[in-house]
Amino acid sequence: MSSELHSAELLSQVAALPPLPGVYRYFDAQDALLYVGKARNLKKRVSSYFSKNHGGTRIGHMVGKIVRLETTVVRSEAEALLLENNLIKSLNPKYNILFRDDKSYPYLKITGVAAKDGTGSAPGQKYPRVAYYRGAVDKRHRYFGPYPGAWAVKETILLLQKVFRLRTCEDTVFANRTRPCLLYQIKRCTGPCVDLISPEAYAVDVAHAEAMLRGETQELLGELEARMMAHSEKLEFEQAAEVRNQITALSRVLHQQAIETVSDKDVDILAVKVQGGRACVNLAMVRGGRHLGDRAYFPTHVEDATAIYREESDSATESHDESAAAEPMEAAETAPQRPVAQLVLEAFIAQHYLHVPVPPTLLVSEPVDELLLDALSEQSGLRVHAVSQPREQRRIWLEMAQQNAEIQLARLLAEEGSQQARTRALAEALDLDAENLEALTIECFDISHTAGESTQASCVVFHHHKMQSSEYRRFKIEGITGGDDYAAMRQVLTRRYSKVAEAQREAGGAEPAPGQARLPDLVLVDGGKGQVSMAREVFEALGLDVSRIVGVEKGEGRKVGLEELVFADGRDKVYLGKDSAALMLVAQIRDEAHRFAITGMRAARAKVRVGGSRLEDIPGIGPKKRARLLQRFGGVRGVGDASVADLASVEGISRELAEEIYRALR
């Protein structure tokens, strides 16, 4: 039985679980999170894992690792569903389908809210500005979105400039203009900076822009036509011509942008494609009736998670009492297995809309569980519907999203296939262990500086056939002669691998325990014999395996594709050939190390050149004081050039703080 593999303490904890809805979490011996699950009945669901022998299945492999259990009781299964996906998103368990958001979604921001009477002291209040924005929202401004990418926001801003001619300049620029800029000349702005439009008229344009962003296009056209006719009747032909031009521009935009006049204003279209153990969810957004484009997401742990789900379902079905007296809860636990695509789509919906506003309508390529929709509705405060078999315009949108999901997944599989081929080619060329290419780990080092200033060393990491940016490290090199790359390499390798050597000594020559520092399979240094010799000295002093050090020496004329590999253990140089897949991987890793080092060096150098401190790093300077300083002096450079008396004249800046700013920026 499975229970023989687990401690009596764990089994007694399982036996004491209540028959209530909740979330459970399994941990292994290293306290790593294995799995997060939800249940209507915690006692029944968790007990099913430990009541039978699962054999060599994936669920059996996972259950064999469990040494600790945590549970959280909640009020309902919908609440359990939301908590489950919140934990999956934040804790990254190994056996759950996980979607990672690479970045937050951008919004279109209209600063302030234009008062109808044109009052308001700040430029952003009197003449609101249209801007691209990413981050936490502020109630003082209006936000529209989210948008799938930066390009969609910028395209919309351009549209608003063409039709309503709203300003996009920063408040500091706006406040210091003495004549209109080029945007006014090309009819993309009405010139509020030099009072070429009244605050009242500008406020009307802002209100019309907001109406268009909300999708109220027909109402807006009707209002503009009524204004044009009113001006004509009063013989105000110049004003009527201006409104006519707006109507023409708006009509052209509606035609070019294919803005729909159907009832759908805000809709998300979700299509999923599963193939080759990988999956893609394509999310397309419709906001204000405009199709804003799409974005592809690729979940991790799909195979393990779906296998465990199927084995869970099989186990529950086998133990299910099919008597007529079975509780509805038990019947739900043994519902027919859902397709992998449906599991992936539901995982995406549950995780994606935790922190992103959900629109009232979702067009989906797979049916969605009503429990999930109920949970989203409860969380958002509006009724969320999912349509899996849409018609007319909705069907066109969904078919387009499905096609894009297929294209994106095919591209991913092709890229992963070529990357795996590169990893295998390098392993074979360097006689590395090719049995477990997934775990093949490469670390690459590069040194970067400008004439000895701000020397930085970078370490980038490659494993599982891709660069692992979360494991990159930068090292600030100090205490060496400027420009001495050899001394810099000695310092960074010593700092990086001292802990590895210590872990190996503690293990007595055996493989260090999981969680401890380990030596990568390959250590690449960007350089020839000199750098390799320096690396060899460091490894010998630390008692590490020098055969893992490989230098990338530039070829004749420093031409790309002619690089040679130099070995620290005395092997002859190897020329892989400019068309070699192995060389392509080496070049990819080396170039990434160089890029990472360069960006770190430039950032450090820029900080040195503005006085060794940024404005926000100065104690006593918060967001408001920083904004006042930047607005008064036009930027950090202007603040740095200001005198103590000038700084002290800014509201909220005392004489003592002005002196502190003066010292910090000089």
Q: Are 487 and 493 in contact (CB under 8 A)?
A: no
Beta bridge partners of 23: 38, 72
Tell me the Ramachandran region of residue 138: left when phi exceeds 0, alpha when psi lies from -120 to 50, beta otherwise: beta
Give the separation between CA 150 and CA 159, rounded to whole angstroms. 14
Give the separation between CA 282 and CA 271, rounded to whole angstroms. 5
Q: How far apart are the first and last CA of the chain?
A: 73
Give the separation between CA 87 and CA 414, rounded to whole angstroms. 32
Give the separation between CA 584 and CA 576, rounded to whole angstroms. 10
Beta bridge partners of 457: 447, 475
Measured at the CA of 336, the angle between CA 331 and CA 338, to 5 degrees, comes to 130
Show the beta-strand stretches assigned E in 134-172. 142-144
Instruction: Enter the tokens of residue 268.
Output: 């998300």
Give the separation between CA 541 and CA 60, rounded to whole angstroms. 45
DSSP-derived secondary structure letter, 54: -
Give the separation between CA 252 and CA 379, rounded to whole angstroms. 39
Instruction: Give Cβ neighbours of residue 363 (< 8 Å, ≥ 6 apart).
Output: 267, 268, 269, 270, 386, 387, 388, 390, 394, 397, 398, 401
Question: What are the CA-CA distances from residue 636 to residues 132, 173, 603, 626 (Å)?
Answer: 22, 14, 15, 9
Instruction: Enter the tokens of residue 249.
Output: 């521009």
Burial of 420 (0-12, 13-18, 19+ CB in 10 A): middle
Residue 146: cis peptide before it, omega within 30 degrees of 0: yes
List b or e across 146-185, with b for residues whose CB sees 16 or more CB atoms inside 10 angstroms: bbbbeebbeebbebbbbbbbbbbbbbbebeeeeeebebbe
Residue 110 has phi, psi (to 5 degrees) of -110, 110
Q: Are 74 and 107 in contact (CB under 8 A)?
A: no
How many Cβ atoms sit within 10 Å of the Cβ of residue 24? Answer: 21
- What pLDDT, on a 0 to 100 scale, did the predictor assign at position 259? 43
Residue 626 has phi, psi (to 5 degrees) of -60, -45
- What pLDDT, on a 0 to 100 scale, did the predictor assign at position 65? 87
Give the separation between CA 639 and CA 626, rounded to whole angstroms. 10
Question: What are the CA-CA distances from residue 123 to residues 113, 119, 173 (Å)?
Answer: 11, 10, 10
DSSP-derived secondary structure letter, 571: P
Global pTM value: 0.62
Burial of 12 (0-12, 13-18, 19+ CB in 10 A): exposed
Give the separation between CA 410 and CA 296, rounded to whole angstroms. 12
Show the beta-strand stretches assigned E in 375-468. 385-387, 442-450, 453-463, 466-467
| Four-residue CA torsion sign, 647, 649, 653, 658 | positive
- Closest by CA to 44, choosing from 425, 416, 316, is 316
Which parts of the chain have pLDDT scores under 70?
1-4, 54-56, 101-104, 113-124, 217-218, 249-264, 310-337, 434, 450-454, 509-515, 556-561, 601-614, 616-617, 634, 666
Give the separation between CA 388 and CA 272, rounded to whole angstroms. 12
Do the strands 68-73 and 361-364 form a parallel or antiparallel pair, or are they unpaired? unpaired
- Closest by CA to 53, choosing from 63, 44, 43, 45, is 63
- What pLDDT, on a 0 to 100 scale, did the predictor assign at position 262? 47
Give the separation between CA 522 and CA 444, rounded to whole angstroms. 8
| Four-residue CA torsion sign, 370, 371, 374, 375 | negative
- Closest by CA to 208, choosing from 187, 185, 184, 225, is 225
- Closest by CA to 282, choosing from 186, 348, 370, is 348
- What pLDDT, on a 0 to 100 scale, did the predictor assign at position 606? 55
